[in-house]
A and B are shown apart, each in its own frame.
Chain A
Amino acid sequence: MFRIDFNKLRFLVCDDNPHMRRILRTLLHSFGAREVYEAEDGASALEMYTHYVPDIVITDWSMPIFDGLELAQMIRQPESKGNPYAPIIMLTGHSEKRRVTVARDAGVTEFLAKPISAKGLYQRILNVVASPRPFIRTKTYFGPDRRRNTANAYIGPERRVGGEVEVLQQPSLLDKARSSV
């Protein structure tokens, strides 16, 4: 049986509702977390994300300025200076299929529908800590592998195609420039 050492984890919680932030802070501290940073909108959260480099982000969807979905999209920028791989747990009152799909396509790692419970939150954190998924980068997506089912039998329209290609090691432009001097 495994336990999480929450005191070694740094959390960023983003929710515009102060009551929900208090609930989340209480739950995380009770689990054993010491470092819990809080933001009340997406813009502050992004700033804090860059500054504090949290291990796990827990964000609401509906927020002023920019929402949790936009926050996820901004974190999942492969070329960004910050860490684009941090697990994002989307906590929201939206629970329709369409919404879940949109959140998944924005690079959200886990989805937790409100009302939240201690058990539900703990389970999502355990999932991202113990079973991280590889990241996928396509022309239109960068984020955790959206396939939960690893069976190869799926032949639907969104099946990724294409075999492994030979990767030729190319010298970087900087190396090329150096060698030509």
Chain B
Amino acid sequence: MAKEKPAEIKVKTFSTHHVITQPNPLRKVLRRVDERDLDDPVARAEQALAGLSGEFRDWMLIEADRLSSAHAAILKHGFSEKAAEELFRAAHDIKGDAATFGFPSAAAAAESLCRIIEHAPDLDKVPPELIVHHINAIQAIVRDHTKLDTAKVSTELSRRLRGVADEYLRHVNRNRPEHLEAILAPSIVPGE
């Protein structure tokens, strides 16, 4: 596809902007199929993803250990910009990946931790136990994932952590309206 000659571009000029159109260069990859066509690429991909699922727990253990290492570095050397960034990046990856890997409660706890790092006015003044509890919760959720009855506990644990974190963030950002707005705003992006 990419090797083909680029389609002709048309430019319509207005006083404040240009509107640029070109015949859809990707149109040729669209193929009309019968309604009864049984091929389902989404189902095929879900099946392939299920085939990978045996590796998900190991991947989550690696991600959780990365988070703990980032936190250990902070305990040793304090909240430098680089250290805070590494902690945020590790938490942010868990926030994004964990639900795909079958650990939605770990994702929720990691999201709560991300919000603390992103919106606390001064990370050095964040109660250390607030961060420690998030990291311990994520570790526990990942390590005890296979035990029975842990799903309910994990969900409740993440929900409580988020409640405490939000209360703290609302308090410390009471005079920072742009942060307060971001903290209180719901996600607007649909997952599907």
A9-B26, A98-B182, A164-B14 are contacts. A30–B192 as well, Cβ < 8 Å? no
Q: Mark A101-126, 1 if CB is under 8 A from B, else 0.
A: 00000000001111111111111000
Q: Is the CB of B192 within 8 A of A117?
A: yes
Q: How far is the CA of A130 from the CA of B191 in the complex (A)?
A: 20
A95: chain B residues within 8 A (beta carbon)? 187-189
Judged by a CB distance under 8 angstroms, whether A44 is at the interface is no
A1-B37, A5-B31, A164-B12 are contacts. A17–B191 as well, Cβ < 8 Å? no
B15: chain A residues within 8 A (beta carbon)? 161-163, 165
Judged by a CB distance under 8 angstroms, whether B20 is at the interface is yes
Q: Is the CB of A2 within 8 A of B30?
A: yes
A163: chain B residues within 8 A (beta carbon)? 14-15
Q: How many Å from the CB of B188 to the closest CB on chain A? A: 5
Q: How far is the CA of A93 from the CA of B29 in the complex (A)?
A: 30
Contact size range, A: 35 or more
Judged by a CB distance under 8 angstroms, whether B134 is at the interface is no
Contact of B14 among A53, A120, A129, A160 (CB under 8 A): A160
Q: Is the CB of A32 within 8 A of B41?
A: yes
A30-B45, A164-B13 are contacts. A135–B20 as well, Cβ < 8 Å? yes
Contact of B188 among A6, A30, A100, A138 (CB under 8 A): A100
Q: How many Å from the CB of B143 to the closest CB on chain A? A: 18
B191: chain A residues within 8 A (beta carbon)? 113, 115, 117, 120
B1: chain A residues within 8 A (beta carbon)? 8-10, 55
Contact size range, B: 35 or more
Q: Is the CB of A122 within 8 A of B42?
A: yes
Q: How many Å from the CB of A22 to the closest CB on chain B? A: 7
Q: Mark A61-96, 1 if CB is under 8 A from B, else 0.
A: 010000000000000000000010101000011011
Q: How far is the CA of A1 from the CA of B32 in the complex (A)?
A: 6
Stretch from B70-78, B91-99, B144-152, B161-169 at the A interface = B91-99
Closest to A137 in B: B18
A2: chain B residues within 8 A (beta carbon)? 30-33
Tell me if A's interface is mostly helix, strand, loop or mixed. mixed
A113-B187, A119-B42 are contacts. A136–B19 as well, Cβ < 8 Å? yes
Contact of A129 among B29, B35, B37, B114 (CB under 8 A): B29
A129: chain B residues within 8 A (beta carbon)? 24, 26-27, 29-30
Q: Is the CB of A1 within 8 A of B92?
A: no
A17: chain B residues within 8 A (beta carbon)? 93, 96-97
Q: Which residues of A contact B (CB under 8 A)?
A: 1-6, 8-10, 17, 19-20, 22-23, 26-27, 29-32, 52-56, 62, 83, 85, 87, 92-93, 95-98, 100, 111-123, 128-130, 132, 134-138, 145, 160-165, 167
Of the A-B pairs whose beta carbons lie under 8 Å apart in the complex, a sample of 30, sorted by A's number, is: A1-B32, A2-B32, A3-B41, A8-B1, A8-B28, A20-B97, A30-B41, A31-B41, A53-B2, A54-B2, A56-B26, A62-B89, A85-B25, A96-B182, A98-B185, A112-B189, A113-B190, A114-B96, A115-B96, A115-B107, A115-B191, A118-B49, A119-B46, A122-B41, A129-B24, A135-B21, A136-B18, A136-B20, A138-B17, A164-B14
